[in-house]
Structure 1
Amino acid sequence: MSERLEDARNVLSVEGLTLDLAGGHAQPRLVDDVTFAVPAGGAVALIGESGCGKTMTAMAVLGLLPAGIRPVAGSVRLGDRELLNRPERELAGIRGREIGTIFQEPMSSLDPTMTVGDQIAESRRLHLGERRGTARSRARELLDRVGIPDAARRLRAYPHELSGGMQQRVMIAAAISCDPRLVIADEPTTALDVTIQAEILGLLRDLQRDSGVAVLLVTHDLGVVADFCEDVVVMYAGHVVERSPVTDLFASARHPYTRALLRSVPAGRAPRTPLDVIPGRVPSAGDFPAGCRFRPRCEYAVDACARTEPVEARLDGGTGGHAARGTRCLRVAAGEIELQEAR
């Protein structure tokens, strides 16, 4: 167990989470031995390519796993309360009240038949028992808080009447409407231009400062990670392959997969310079290779990588009170390869 999981300040502690896929396409250890923690007022990023298990991990925290996928090992704790395998009735009382969620596509998450005011107020009426008038008044205050002008009028608007940036702000207002301890943000800045993206991140940062809410950010955008998060959890094919404070990760990525991800970022490159790409693709569930799951795409792979599945090895300590760094690579752990600058 990492030192960080033992910290009483952690709002969310995920330890050894393992998910199996049952049915005709059964796949054991679809998500395997995932461990990380999010402290009060902190922001932790889950990063990796599509299909690496980021969203599945977040859905396990919420108790919203798709049919056929079930937790078979590990622990997910909100404070000192275990969430795995809780009755749906109990989880429904936690979602929205203690855990807020911001989805990446507000137009597919907001109800087109309800005004945004009613959608924000609904959570307070359900979880806090407020009357309709009181809840709508609080909804107007929340729209003000997230920076929507003329909130009293926008309260009566339907989602399609708002811009993409305003829709995302409504999603944030709904997510924080009951003052949750944790917000899970799944690609909250997708499809937003850079100006609106900066405003959304600034809004989330203000919420952290003002209320101490913890944020679990699921994203592909390394720029957002660098700007917003303190710690990073890198996932590949259901495994955590690297855990690190964000400054350490960008200064010296350790796992070959993380290094390859950082090399593929176009920022700072001369115009018309070809981008680095990672050959191949993330293996499908049920088709994971023997040994290291990244081995077929890794430039450092040797025969031993096919014979042994690596476990996470602790590296040097983190900085500024962060958790110690860790990586899931046989050769890095053995000191056989030295990964210095990420780019």
Structure 2
Amino acid sequence: MSTSKTAGAATATAVAPDVRPILSVRDLTIDYLGEPRQPALVQDVSFDVLPGRSVALIGESGCGKTITSLAVLGLLPARMRVAGGSIVLDGVDVLQASERTLRDLRGRTVGAIFQEPMSSLNPTMPVGDQIGEARWLHLGESRRAARAKAVELLDRVGIPNAARRARAYPHELSGGMQQRVMIASAIACEPAMLLADEPTTALDVTVQADILALLADLQRDLGLGILFVTHDLGVVAEFCADVVVMYAGHVVERAGTRALFAAPRHPYTAALLGAVPQAGQARTVLTTIPGRVPPSGAFPAGCRFRPRCAHAVATCAEPQHGGADGDHFTLCDRVAAGELTPRRRT
């Protein structure tokens, strides 16, 4: 979560408590059918994304963040299948929807921003045509009207000389401009939600800050809900209102960003926070988490974090329930029983 920044930097458009989520994921379980086979690669994942609010999915590589986000889009790889749970996107049951309905949802209801824009953009098409394509496909606009809207969108995301840049090919743009093109494409059909998978990782710090500011402006102006998949805990502290912490396919902690930063309750979350350098604490030894996330087919019996947990005891088993204090959920029986208390960062 943060380095020198505090969770207080995370902001969101205020929403009424009875507002319906744009995205509601409940008890999502995904099996891996390849070799080695892994039942419950992702298990019992639940969270909501509300209008005007950003939710971060965090955890080490291999924890299930990207698989979860692909399931939201109905784009799971061939060897994976949803074994249980539900995904409701703007009132549509994603798991029961036809491929045609899913195609309509992608772009029209949810826009996607990916980590490497150069690998996502079509190198053979001018960027303006790529942005406009979504509008004539989903909204039925003429190609001329779609191109004009593409120029407007490029201007909106801060690209100078938008009319000229609309005729450029992706390789003619810098990395920061490519990412702005991806954002313009993602919001082309005025979706209710954005799914941003590591959208700033490949950018330098200055450009990253500009992109985050742009996303915050768009969120405020359009009321977008954003699902933000990231490893960058500083970005989470600055940008996201809620956090979902995943480990080996489980949601181990879920809370508002401020509450989670102030008092992480799951040992894994506390270890992640402890591994972030703190401003003003030079030459300190960072916390490390021994070992690595277990690969598919090698999940340990019982609590999946137990082999790496500094607080594990002989009685630790598969967590049967999470400890919930209001909106703060923790998947650890020792926390639920009061044997572990919240660890507040200093």
1:282-297 maps to which residues of 2 (within 5 A)? Answer: 282-297=293-308
The CA deviation at 1:312 is: 4.2
Q: Which ranges of structure 2 fall in alignment gaps of 5 or more residues?
A: 1-14
Aligned to 1:331: 334
Structure 1 residue 144 corresponds to structure 2 residue 147: no
- Tell me, in whole angstroms, the C-alpha distance in 2 between the residues paired with 1:80 and 1:56: 21
Aligned to 2:234: 223
Q: Which ranges of structure 1 fall in alignment gaps of 5 or more residues?
A: 318-323
Aligned to 1:130: 141
The CA deviation at 1:316 is: 2.2
Secondary structure of 2:271's counterpart equals helix
- Tell me, in whole angstroms, the C-alpha distance in 2 between the residues paired with 1:110 and 1:253: 38
Change (3 A) 1:7 1:56: farther
Letter in 2 for 1:190: T
8 Å contact kept, 1:312–1:326: no
- Tell me, in whole angstroms, the C-alpha distance in 1 between the residues paired with 2:110 and 2:160: 26
Secondary structure of 1:112's counterpart equals coil
Letter in 1 for 2:33: A
Secondary structure of 2:75's counterpart equals coil
8 Å contact kept, 1:47–1:218: yes
Letter in 2 for 1:328: L
The CA deviation at 1:24 is: 3.5
- Tell me, in whole angstroms, the C-alpha distance in 2 between the residues paired with 1:209 and 1:148: 20
Letter in 1 for 2:264: A
Aligned to 1:340: 343
The CA deviation at 1:8 is: 4.2
1:69-148 maps to which residues of 2 (within 5 A)? Answer: 69-148=80-159
Secondary structure of 2:145's counterpart equals helix
Comparing 215-224 with 187-196, which one deviates more in the overlay?
A: 187-196
Aligned to 1:181: 192
Q: Which has the higher contact order (CA 8 A, sep 6+)?
A: 2
Aligned to 1:66: 77
Secondary structure of 1:32's counterpart equals strand
8 Å contact kept, 1:241–1:312: no
Structure 1 residue 29 corresponds to structure 2 residue 40: yes
- Tell me, in whole angstroms, the C-alpha distance in 1 between the residues paired with 2:267 and 2:152: 47
- Tell me, in whole angstroms, the C-alpha distance in 2 between the residues paired with 1:174 and 1:328: 37
Name the Cα RMSD after superposition. 1.4
8 Å contact kept, 2:323–2:333: no
1:117-266 maps to which residues of 2 (within 5 A)? Answer: 117-266=128-277
The CA deviation at 1:311 is: 3.7
Change (3 A) 1:89 1:251: same
- Tell me, in whole angstroms, the C-alpha distance in 2 between the residues paired with 1:129 and 1:312: 48
Aligned residues: 331
Letter in 1 for 2:52: G
Per-residue deviation, residues 6-49 of structure 1 (Å, max 9, x unmatched): 95421000000000011432211000000000001110000000
- Tell me, in whole angstroms, the C-alpha distance in 2 between the residues paired with 1:160 and 1:260: 40
The CA deviation at 1:339 is: 2.9
Per-residue deviation, residues 110-136 of structure 1 (Å, max 9, x unmatched): 011111001000111110111111000
